[in-house]
Each structure stands twice: as C-alpha cells, then as structure tokens.
Amino acid sequence: MSIESSKGWEPKIIVFACNWCSYAAADLAGLNHLDYPADVRIIRTPCSGRMDPLFVMRAFNRGADGVLLSG
Amino acid sequence: MRKRVGVFVCECGTNIAATVNTEKVAEYASTLPGVAYATTYKYMCSDPGQELIRASIAEHELEQVVVASCSPRMHENTFRRAVEAGGINPYMFEMVNIREQNSWVHHDKQLATSKAMDLVRMAVSKVLKNQPLQKSTIPITKKAMVIGGGIAGMQAALDIAEAGYQVILLEREASIGGKMAQLDKTFPTMDCAA
Amino acid sequence: MVAAAQHPNIELMTYAEVKKVSGYIGNFTVSVRKKAKYVDWDLCTGCGTCIEKCPTKKIKDEFNLGIGLRTAIHKLFPQAVPGKPYIDAESCRKLTQDKCGVCEKVCPTKAINFNDKDEMVDIEVGAIVMATGYDLFKWEEVYGEYGYGKYPDVISGLHFERLVSAGGPTGGKIVRPSDGKEPKSVAFIKCVGSRDDTKGKSYCSRACCMYTAKHAYQVKDKIADSEAYVFYMDVRTAGKNYEEFYQRALNAGAKYIRGRVSKIYPRGDKLVLKSEDTLLGMPIEVEADLVVLATAMVPSAGAVDLAKAIGFSVDKDGFYQEAHPKLQPMETFAAGVYLAGACQGPKDIPDTVAQASGAAVKVCGLFSKPELATDPMTSVVDATKCSGCGLCVPICPYGAISLKERKERGGHGQGPFIRQVAEVNSSLCQGCGACVPACRTMALNLKGFTDEQLVAEVDALCL
C-alpha cells in the first residue's frame, strides 16, 4: 500500500487528529506553509477521546506503515 | 440510500492547483465506486461554485456530496448550506482538506496529487456511510444570572437588562459593589469609583 | 451601583452563594443559598436606628480592612446597595449568648428576626455570567523580608485606598495605622507577588503600575512636604492616557527607583527600606513612615470550586479559562457560561467593563433566538444492545449520560421486567465520542463519526 514515488518507497502513515487541537494545528502548519513529508494521511476525529484501539489495529491490519494519534 | 456521490475538486485559484493536479484527482474520483459525477472548479466556495454544487445535485441526481478544497474548519458550514440548498440533507456531505494539509505543505506535485486522491477516496468511502441527521432545537430560558456583583457583574447585568432580558445579580456579600466600592478615585481620570 | 439596583429588569440577590449548577445552555438550574440576614429587608426601611443603638460596637471592619470599627448589625459600608443592614451572627450577643436584643426593640418596623435561617432556592436561567473578581495575594504568608505583616505600617494598596477614600474611616486623611500620624514619607513597592516565580505568581497583575502611580500622586497631592518613593521593576502603562497619567505622578514629584526592596526593618518609629538602585548600580536605603505594597491579583476565594461545580476549566493560576485567548475571551468551554472581569485574569476597570459588555452581548445573542439549534453529531445509545453496565457514565466529561430504567417485555413466559440502560442527553452531549470506545457492547455510537464511518476511512486510506 506504500506510496509510489519517483524517489522509491515511501511509508504511508495514518494520523488520527482531534478536530480542536491537532487538526487545527495541521491547518496552522498549512497557513504557515511549513513543508513536511507527504507520507501522512490525516483522519479527522471529533476528539482524541473518540479513538478506539480498533481503528489502530485495523490500520496496521490493512497495511499501514505507521499510526500517529494526536490530540 | 442510493449511492450517487458528487465530487467537487477546488483549485482555489492556484493555491491548490499549483501543487495538486486537480483534473487528475477529479478524473480519479469519477472511477471510484458510488461516484456519479466529479468535476473541478476554480473557487468552490464562491457563489458560482456553490451554484455548481446545487445545479449538479439536480442534474446528476446526487445523494451525497464530497468537496475537496480547504480545511473543513474554514468552509464546512458554507458547503453544508449549499448542499442543503440543493435539496439533500446537509450531513450527507464530507469535506477533503487538500489545501492546508496538502498543497500548502508539500512541494512534490506527484506526491501531493497522489495524497489528494487518497484523501478523496477516504471521504467518498465515509460519505457512503453517512446518514441524514437532523438538527434539534432546545428551548431557552430567557433569564440570565450574573455571579458576582462587582464592576464586571454590574456592567454585564445592566447591559443584559437594557436589552430587555431579566437578570439576577447574585453577590455573596450583603451589598453589590465588590472591590470597586472599596476604591477611592480611579485612574486615569481620577473619577470616583462609587 | 444604584443604576443596577434600580433597573426594573435586574433582581439583586445579595448575601447569597451559588451551591450547585445543573443543566445546560439555555436551561440551567442554579441552586443558591441565601444566607440568613436576621433582618426582613421587605420591612426594613434602612433608617439605621438599629446600627446606632447596637451595643456591640468594637468589631474590626472587614470592608475597611480592619481600619475602624463596626457594630454587629451593620451595613457592609454606609452607601451599601441595597441600603439595608444585616446581623453578623458570629458577633451578635443575642445570637451567640441570647442576651441583648436591642435592635429588635428599637426597630420601628419590626424587621428584626432572630430566627432567620439560611434558605435554599433553585433558579432557572438560560445563561450565566461569571464575574467573581479577584482577591489580593496574601503577601503576609511569604514575604518575610517585608515583615510577614507584623509591621502595622506596611499595608496593601487596597488598605491605602480605604485610607485615602473620602468615604473611608479616616474621611480621606492618609494616616499611619500604628499611631494615626500623617506620614511624611511613603514608599511604594510594586510587583509584590506578581512577576515573582519563587514566592508569588509568574504573571503581571496589570493594574498595579497605574494604581501605584495614582497613590504616589495622591500622597504628593494630599500631604504637604511629603515624599513618595516608588520601587519598581518596570513601569507598564499600556492603556489610553495611562502614560500621561504616570507622567503626571512624576511631575507631581513622585520618585521612581528601579529596584527590588530586599528588606524592611524598623528604625525608631520609621521603616527602613534596603534596596538597590539598578539604574545607578548601587545599594540605597530609604526611610519611610508608611510602606504600601502593590500586591498581586489572585482568583477570589472559592472561584475554583465554583468552576468545578458548573463544569468549566481554570488555568494554572486558578483564573477562569477562556475558550480561546484571542477569539473567544468571554466564553468558557461550558456553552452558555460567559466570563467578565478579573475572574478570567488580572484586569483594570476599563478592560473589565469592556469584557463585561462583551459577555452581555454573548448572552443577548443567545437570548435573541427563539430556540437553540443543536449540533446533531451527538452520541446515541442502541438500547437493545446496552447492558446497563454504566461504564460510559463517568467517562462523559459533560455529564450527558445517565442510566435510566427501561421497561421491557419478558420472553418465554416471564412477565415484563425493568432494567437499566444508558441514555444520552443530546443537549449536554458535545459530540466528543469518548463514550463510544468505552462501551463494551458497542451500543454507543457517535452520529457523524460512527465506527462504520471511521473504519471506512481507515480502509480507504490503506488500499
């Protein structure tokens, strides 16, 4: 499932981000045009409290290379 | 619920289009299961952009809408209203962030485009599971309580009362006035505190 | 004060404390304890005969910070609003020893009631404005170098306000608490408890630079041939006409000395302040008759407990936490609860008034709607799956989940039975979804962010 790129293999990292803090922070990084690797895919959650271990297991089970919870 | 998703990819002038190949993203979106229609537009949030959503809902009999543009923290409500104006439940809508969390933070066009496709696929999968939701309303007791009868409490109570609402000004001491009643003249005008 | 008391839409409820708040935006129930006043204010005309005749006259007057005395039956201060007296139960001889009762005899309207009791009332309101203000930092407990409060002529700024106030116990004459003499030399120390990580608070209390400038000016203005020394770290005058006001104090002859006072000790009937003048780079010594400390503002007593009772957060110093430092300075994390004044952080009067008007606008905005629309993305319980274990109840940070009895039809020849199932109050639910992973039977789900939706997103990304 890794990302295809001219530079070869790139990992795919699933991020679960709380709408009120981390997701907003990721938006802020965008507003400031702070460059970071394109390997992350952010899923918005209403709160990090919404996180279920199930989602993490599911992501790894389906082949994610990394999972980041932030909230 | 029929699966007829419309995907609208915003170019945001060049904010998105300079880094993400929006045409390619829309083209890819139209191949996804459940997607009935996909297109791009220069500014989705503009009046003509919203009109495009409304018209497309009617024309393509859309049941779900995905907009790939800026952060939902910015325009989620804008598009919800557009979707509702188009005649479908405003919660049959998902937004994909391909500006703040993509085009503005990546430079590699290929990687950014591929990320945008992934994110659109994610939103389409989600929106297919969406259910219509109804806002409910709750009654409001139009009476306020101000806790603390110092200058802050008195000012707030007076302003609310002036607007025509009932206010209870609660104070734990036997008199209102708070610290301000203890003060002599006040800076910078040296007028009396009482 | 009088404007607030006379407004037809304002009901004053003084000598009362909030005990409990339940409910949610638009629909709060506030439980209030109205403390016993032992005077029926409906009958009382505020004539003051009882105050004149009360024989218990030697109680330290708290309102004047112990300068001057008051009676057991008294008004908080002569211009109190409402202008009616109450009995301080701890010092009244009738209430403590069942003697006296003079006030009852002299009251022309029979308003005195020694059997008065605290009364609990529940009040329904739609919005709450917190305006609990501040207290002064207790410098006596930590500043040993300033005498731990044992020198009577080392006082706080508020104390000085009572001395200089025309309505105060001295009629506005500045005198030394120790001997009642007029001080010729007054020293002011700023940032006592403020900007002091080791002994006090890290923050700046914001109003002290200005009121100290005012005090110094008043010393120069009221006492002929006087000296006013101000020991400071910085002079912060960020406000309209503030810098000009500070210059006025300087022009009046106030002497500003940049340095922290390291020690105060008595010499004869004077106090000696040892400090460094950091601009001259040398130690200095100043003799003063009176020392006034500009003490830090701290949240008022009980403010933190009140926040807990209502259900919103406080910051590291106990001030009420605003929802956003720039964009939502009057809102709390509890919808329908707004902030005004120094309870949110140290403030002077102009800023307090501005914030109070802002909070009032928030309340009026809420009240201007016929009904309140709620976000539908709330948790729901599938009662058929719920086992009634109740694990979700303490998880919910908003107190939105409770166990309710549910009557069910029995099967296989059994009669109907009652069992407990969780119920979500959708008005209280803020849609965080913390309850969903806590549910062992997967009976809870969050509308808009269901397990199915989130799993679909994970699956789609991991293709």
The pLDDT of residue C1: 85
Confidence of residue A1 (pLDDT cuts 50, 70, 90): very low
pLDDT in tens, A11-68: 999 999 998 888 988 998 998 899 999 999 999 999 999 999 999 999 999 999 999 9
- Cα C161 to Cα B186, C187, C211, C293: the distances in Å are 10, 15, 9, 12
The pLDDT of residue C246: 97
Higher pLDDT, C380 or C323: C380
Architecture of the domain made up of B5-129: 3-Layer(aba) Sandwich (3.40)
Provide the percentage of residues in chain C whose pLDDT is more than 90: 87
Cβ distance of C131 and B149 shorter than 8 Å: yes
Least Cα distance to C328 among C355, C289, C346 occurs for: C355
Confidence of residue C302 (pLDDT cuts 50, 70, 90): very high
Cβ distance of B138 and C427 shorter than 8 Å: yes
HSE of C261 in the Cβ direction (CA atoms, 13 Å)? 34
Predicted confidence (pLDDT) at residue C36 exceeds the cutoff of 70: yes
Cβ distance of A62 and C462 shorter than 8 Å: yes
Cβ distance of A46 and C437 shorter than 8 Å: no
Predicted confidence (pLDDT) at residue C114 exceeds the cutoff of 80: yes
Cis peptide before C376 (omega within 30 of 0): no
pLDDT in tens, B65-115: 999 999 998 899 999 999 999 999 999 999 999 999 999 999 999 999 999
Confidence of residue B193 (pLDDT cuts 50, 70, 90): low
> Residue C181 and residue C175: Cα distance in Å, rounded?
5
Can you give the residue ranges of every domain in chain B?
5-129, 143-192
Predicted confidence (pLDDT) at residue A3 exceeds the cutoff of 60: no
Q: Which of A3, A33, A34 sits opposite B114 (nearest CB)?
A: A3
Which runs of consecutive H residues, i.e. helices, occur in C184-232? Answer: 208-222
Averaged pLDDT of chain C: 94
Q: Which of A47, A49, A58 sits opposite C458 (nearest CB)?
A: A58
Do residues A47 and C432 make contact, with C-beta atoms less than 8 angstroms apart? yes
Higher pLDDT, C326 or C407: C407
The pLDDT of residue C463: 80
> Residue A52 and residue C437: Cα distance in Å, rounded?
5
Cβ distance of A43 and B97 shorter than 8 Å: no
Pick the residue from chain C with its C-alpha nearest to A42: C461
The pLDDT of residue C412: 82
Asked if C29 is an interface residue toward chain B (Cβ–Cβ < 8 A), one would say no
Confidence of residue B137 (pLDDT cuts 50, 70, 90): confident
pLDDT in tens, B138-154: 899 999 999 999 999 99
A34 neighbourhood in chain B, CB within 8 Å: 105
The pLDDT of residue A2: 52
Query: Which secondary structure element, helix H or strand E, spans residue C263, and what is its range?
Result: strand C261-267
The minimum CA-CA distance between B135 and chain C, rounded to whole Å, is: 5
Do residues B98 and B119 make contact, with C-beta atoms less than 8 angstroms apart? yes
> Residue C419 and residue C408: Cα distance in Å, rounded?
8
Asked if C446 is an interface residue toward chain A (Cβ–Cβ < 8 A), one would say yes
> Residue C215 and residue C164: Cα distance in Å, rounded?
9
pLDDT in tens, C368-384: 999 988 889 999 999 99
Residues in chain A: 71
And the tokens for C53?
Answer: 């005749």
pLDDT (mean) for C182-198 = 97
Cβ distance of C129 and B144 shorter than 8 Å: yes
The minimum CA-CA distance between B49 and chain A, rounded to whole Å, is: 23
The pLDDT of residue C266: 96
Predicted confidence (pLDDT) at residue B8 exceeds the cutoff of 90: yes
Write the ipTM: 0.93
Cβ distance of C128 and B145 shorter than 8 Å: yes
Predicted confidence (pLDDT) at residue C249 exceeds the cutoff of 80: yes
Going along chain C from its start, the domains and CATH numbers come out as 2-127 (no CATH), 128-373 (3.50.50.60), 379-462 (3.30.70.20)
Architecture of the domain made up of A4-70: 3-Layer(aba) Sandwich (3.40)
Contacts (Cβ under 8 Å, ≥6 apart) of C150? none
pLDDT in tens, B34-69: 999 999 999 999 999 999 999 999 999 999 999 999
Cβ distance of A58 and C377 shorter than 8 Å: no
The minimum CA-CA distance between B44 and chain C, rounded to whole Å, is: 23
C10 neighbourhood in chain B, CB within 8 Å: 157-158, 161, 167-169
Query: Which secondary structure element, helix H or strand E, spans residue B96, and what is its range?
Result: strand B93-97
Selected residue of B71, B126, B129 to mutate for chain A interface (largest A Cβ count, 10 A): B71
